[in-house]
C-alpha cells in the first residue's frame, strides 16, 4: 500500500458555515470525471471507498481510501493437518 494521496477526481465537498448544525456539507459530482475515477479505482467487490478530510489550511477534500485488510493466514485444524488430538 502506498502512502501517496489519491484525490477523488470529479468529487467536491463543501461546508457552508451559515448552514444549520445538522447539515454537514454538500457533495458535488462532475459525472464524467467521477465515472472515470470510479471505474479506475473500484475494488474486486465493486466498491470504491472515499474519505472526506481537512487540509492543513482547513479546506475539506475527498481522497481515495486505499486501506485494505491484510490477509489473515488460515489456521489449520488437527483434522486438516492429519493427526489426532493428543488427549
Give the start-to-end residue ranges of the domains of the chain.
Answer: 11-68
Give percent of the chain above pLDDT 70: 79
Check residue 84 and give its pLDDT: 62
More confident residue, 29 or 68: 29
Q: What is the pLDDT of residues 16-25, one digit of tens each?
A: 889 999 999 9
**Cα–Cα distances in Å, from 44 out to 4, 68, 87?**
21, 12, 44
Integer Cα distance of 46 and 51 in angstroms: 17
pTM of the prediction? 0.68
Amino acid at each position: 500500500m502506498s502512502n501517496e494521496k489519491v484525490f477523488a477526481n470529479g468529487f467536491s465537498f463543501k461546508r457552508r458555515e451559515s448552514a444549520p448544525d445538522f447539515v454537514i456539507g454538500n457533495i458535488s459530482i462532475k459525472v464524467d470525471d467521477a465515472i472515470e475515477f470510479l471505474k479506475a479505482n473500484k475494488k474486486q467487490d465493486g466498491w470504491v471507498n472515499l474519505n472526506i478530510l481537512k487540509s492543513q489550511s482547513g479546506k475539506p477534500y475527498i481522497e481515495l481510501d486505499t486501506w485494505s485488510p491484510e490477509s489473515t493466514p488460515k489456521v489449520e485444524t488437527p483434522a486438516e493437518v492429519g493427526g489426532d488430538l493428543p488427549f
